[in-house]
A and B are shown apart, each in its own frame.
Chain A
Amino acid sequence: MDWITMSVEIVGLIILVIWTFIPIQEFKAIFARLRSQHRESE
């Protein structure tokens, strides 16, 4: 594999890892907030 192909793959993998884990954390925080708001309104 040449260095340009390798570089594109590495950049792609970094994006893949970041966008796998950070949105999960963000969704968890959103749902936790929505749940607490829901409890307060009850």
Chain B
Amino acid sequence: MTPLDYGLVLGFLLFMALAGLAVSRLIKDSDDFFVAGRELTPFILCATITATNLSMFHFVGMGGTAYKDGVSIIWQNWTGCMALVLSGIFVLPLMRRLKIRSIPEFLELRYTRGLRTLAGLFWGVRLSIYLGLLLYIASTAAIVITGWHSYAAWLAIFSLVSILYSVVGGAWAVAIMDSVQFVVMLAGGLIIFPVAMHLAGGIPAMWHRLSEVSPQYTTLVPATGNFSWLFVTSMMLLGFKFATVDQSILQRAFGARSPRVGAKGMVLSGLITTPMAFLWIFPGLAVAKAGPVNMKTDEAIPWLLRTHVSAVCVGALGFVLCGLVAAQISTITADVNSVATVLTSDVYRTLKRREPTQRELLRVVRYTSLLSGVLMLLVAWMFQYIGNAVKLNNIIVSILDMPLFVVTVVYGLWWRRTNWQGALAGFLLGGIASGICYAMYWDNIDHARQIAPIVSTLTALIVTPIVTLLTPPDRTDRAATMLSSIGRGNVDEGDADPFHLVPHSAIGKAGAIAVIVGFVLFITGVVCAPLSTATAGTLAVAGLLAVLIGGVVRVYSM
């Protein structure tokens, strides 16, 4: 790295910290801090959701996985894109109507306050571990790329900037800076991509050579292996969770000005992330074709940056690193904001006897932002001794996330009879079933990772209705009131551009049908993989395209 590269990265970090601080005057009350005053518009929302979603893990981790295992890892992104569209149309508008700030808050409105506190604590711990992982990845990648071997220094640099403006500027700072970071991140990706493709001699030559080396490399939906059709199915389930109950993604969408704006933001994010996935998957394949063999997964992209991107021109590596830093900081700051929100709104507030004042809430949320930053640093510090941080995070994600999706969305929104006893049992037993999967397949953790989300989903799907039917129905009208206020035909008062669950226009109906047909086509394709991988890939991609196009048509029509 040249002094110019270092200068660019440090200048960009300084700019982000100062700009983030400058927006602190926008924070007038707790809604400004939690959900940016619910003022966000479609393109800003799209940028902030996408920047929150994408991190260095995509550019370095997933690019490296493509280098080792081939193109099918792309479904980890593409299933998420489909889930964003489906959630944007069928789930987010309903939740946005409730004017909530978090998923645990939804659980109180739907079930009981106790479940809100429990889910708040779960998200607080779960996101803190994820934050530690993000910081760990950023710092270790910075060491490999720059050659400056000071883990503590990189931890300090990354955490200082992100904690600083999350504590002061809240969701407003996150939204504004995410919009800038999204552009810088994309620009960085657009420099890496042609350099990598030039190295590989062009995409057709790369594809031809890799399919000769191993057909697995170029099979979109393989029948066997660590990234087989079973993996794609698990990713689709986790994608639903990510787009419907993931606090850091949903909290951005709750900042939408109206339900329709929220739907547009999510659908646009799914639409633009789909082609962007090529920017980190294909460079990994290019290194597999033209780079050294037997590198570790996480070394492939740093090798490309060090040896080829830096040779483009002076400052090119620095600019690309700004893009990677932007990707990472945008995710970290959004998650710090989310941890602070759940700890303040769902834990502190529910445990307190009296309703806190706005001033008190703002003070507490700044303390909890600071606390989440400290937790992130502690976890990141521990990860350097534990090792295998990505696998550990995947285990945590697949244990309790899917049961939360089942009790919140599947039964919470679509089956009125579900009571808090059923929801609690489904949530906990689903998690336990997933834990048993890991215990049984500890020696083959990749297989456990494929089946654990499926097992936990099925367990929660079965246990929740059984316990609900075996226990007395909820005597309060809590669920009925909430569900009837967001159901079919209801729209926000004074909303000039309402979003109806069932579309009113023929074009809107055609869009919704295209989404449903596309999703069925995708599922059919994926389960076809053991019979014909060629048919599976074609059907799955056709389904993906139908979901994306149908989604855009649906949100832009009545």
Contact = CB atoms under 8 A, between A and B. Distances in A.
Contacts of A22: 43
A12 B204 contact: no
Interface stretch (B14-22, B271-279, B363-371, B476-484): B271-279
Interface in A1-42: 1-2, 4-5, 8-9, 11-13, 15-16, 18-20, 22-23, 26-27, 29-30, 33-34
B39 interface: yes
Contact of B193 (A12, A19, A20, A30): A12
A17 B47 CA distance: 13
Interface stretch (B119-127, B175-183, B236-244, B410-418): B175-183
Nearest to B278: A8
Contacts of B41: 26, 29-30
B488 interface: no
A33 B39 CA distance: 10
A34 B39 contact: yes
A27 B194 contact: no
B193 to A, nearest CB: 6
Q: Name, among A1, A5, A8, A23, the residue most crowded by chain B CB atoms within 10 Å (CB to CB).
A: A23
A27 B23 CA distance: 12
Nearest to A33: B39
B279 A12 contact: yes
Interface of A: 1-2, 4-5, 8-9, 11-13, 15-16, 18-20, 22-23, 26-27, 29-30, 33-34
A16 B193 contact: no
Nearest to B182: A19
Nearest to B183: A20
A9 B183 contact: no
Given A12-B279, A19-B43, A23-B179, A5 B272 contact: no
B197 A1 contact: yes
Contacts of A33: 39
A25 to B, nearest CB: 9
B202 A16 contact: no
Interface of B: 26, 37, 39-44, 46-47, 176, 179, 182-183, 186-187, 189-190, 193-194, 197-198, 202-204, 272, 275-276, 278-279, 282
B279 A19 contact: no
Given A2-B202, A5-B193, A12-B276, A23 B43 contact: yes
A5 B276 contact: no
A26 B43 contact: yes
A2 B194 CA distance: 10
A15 B202 contact: no
A23 B203 contact: no
Contacts of A8: 193, 275, 278-279, 282
Given A8-B193, A12-B275, A16-B190, A23 B202 contact: no
Contacts of A12: 186, 189-190, 193, 275-276, 279
Given A5-B194, A13-B190, 18 more contacts: A1-B194, A2-B197, A2-B204, A5-B197, A8-B282, A12-B189, A12-B190, A12-B275, A12-B279, A16-B183, A19-B43, A19-B47, A19-B182, A20-B183, A26-B44, A27-B179, A30-B41, A33-B39
Nearest to A4: B203
Given A5-B203, A23-B47, A15 B39 contact: no
A24 to B, nearest CB: 8
A30 B23 CA distance: 13
A13 to B, nearest CB: 7
B189 A30 contact: no
Given A16-B187, A16-B190, A27-B176, A1 B204 contact: no
A4 to B, nearest CB: 4
B275 A2 contact: no
A11 B44 CA distance: 19
B58 to A, nearest CB: 15
A4 B194 contact: no
A3 to B, nearest CB: 9
Nearest to B50: A19
A20 B187 CA distance: 11
A38 B2 CA distance: 48
Contacts of A27: 44, 176, 179
A4 B187 CA distance: 18
Contacts of B187: 16
Contacts of B276: 12, 15
A18 B179 CA distance: 12
